[in-house]
Amino acid sequence: MAQSTQAAPVTSTEHPVLSIERLSVTLPGGAAARPVLDHVSLTVHAGQTVGLVGESGSGKSVTCRAALGLFPARAHLDGSVRVAGRDVLTMTRGERRRMRARDAAMVFQDPRSSINPLRTVGDFLTEALRTHDRLTRGAATTAAAELLAAVGLRDPRTALRRYPHEFSGGMLQRVMIAAALAGEPRLLLADEPTTALDMSIQAEVIALLARLRAERDLGLLFVTHDLDLAGAICDRIYVMYAGRIVEHRPAADLFRSPRHPYTAALLASRPRLDRAADRLDAVRGRPLGLDESVPGCGFAPRCDGATDACLRGSVPLTAIGDEPSAPGQVACLHPAEVAAR
Choose between 140 and 242: whose C-beta lies nearer to ligand ATP. Answer: 242
Q: How many CB atoms lie within 10 A of CB 326?
A: 11
Cα separation of 204 and 210, whole Å?
Answer: 10
The widest CA-to-CA distance across the chain, in whole angstroms, is 68
61 to 80: interface string for Mg ion, x by CB under 5 A:
x-------------------
Where does this chain touch Mg ion (CB under 5 A) — which range of 57-65, 165-173, 197-205, 271-279? 57-65
* Best CA proximity match to 201, nearest among 170, 171, 168: 170
Could you say which of ligand ATP, Mg ion, none residue 290 binds, taking C-beta under 5 to 8 angstroms by partner kind?
Answer: ligand ATP
Choose between 142 and 195: whose C-beta lies nearer to Mg ion. Answer: 195
For residues 159 and 153, the answer to whether their CB atoms sit within 8 Å is yes
Q: Which of 16, 47, 59, 298 touches ligand ATP (CB under 6 A)?
A: 59
Q: How many CB atoms lie within 10 A of CB 160?
A: 20
Measured from the CB of residue 192, what is the shortest distance to Mg ion in angstroms? 6
* Best CA proximity match to 104, nearest among 186, 162, 199, 178: 186
Answer yes or no whether residue 194 interacts with Mg ion by CB under 5 A: no
Consecutive H or E run containing 113: none
272 to 291: interface string for ligand ATP, x by CB under 6 A:
------------------x-
Consecutive H or E run containing 261: helix 261-268
Choose between 60 and 213: whose C-beta lies nearer to Mg ion. Answer: 60
Judged by CB under 6 A, the chain residues 3 through 42 that form the site for ligand ATP are: 27, 36
Cα separation of 95 and 325, whole Å?
Answer: 36
Mark 263-288 as b/e (b = at least 16 C-beta within 10 Å): bbbbbbeeeeeeeeeeeeeebeeebb
309 burial (CB, 10 Å; 0-12 / 13-18 / 19+) is: middle
Answer yes or no whether residue 72 interacts with ligand ATP by CB under 6 A: yes
Cα separation of 260 and 332, whole Å?
Answer: 6
Could you say which of Mg ion, ligand ATP, none residue 59 binds, taking C-beta under 5 to 8 angstroms by partner kind?
Answer: ligand ATP
Cα separation of 336 and 338, whole Å?
Answer: 5
Answer yes or no whether residue 56 interacts with ligand ATP by CB under 6 A: yes
Could you say which of ligand ATP, Mg ion, none residue 36 binds, taking C-beta under 5 to 8 angstroms by partner kind?
Answer: ligand ATP
Could you say which of Mg ion, ligand ATP, none residue 132 binds, taking C-beta under 5 to 8 angstroms by partner kind?
Answer: none
Measured from the CB of residue 66, what is the shortest distance to ligand ATP in angstroms? 10
Cα separation of 284 and 272, whole Å?
Answer: 19
Choose between 43 and 224: whose C-beta lies nearer to ligand ATP. Answer: 224
Q: Which of 102, 112, 225, 270 touches ligand ATP (CB under 6 A)?
A: 225
Answer yes or no whether residue 58 interacts with Mg ion by CB under 5 A: no
Measured from the CB of residue 316, what is the shortest distance to ligand ATP in angstroms? 21
Where does this chain touch ligand ATP (CB under 6 A) — which range of 38-46, 51-59, 211-219, 261-269? 51-59
Q: Which of 16, 47, 51, 54 touches ligand ATP (CB under 6 A)?
A: 54
Interface residues with ligand ATP (CB under 6 A)? 27, 36, 54, 56-62, 72, 225, 290
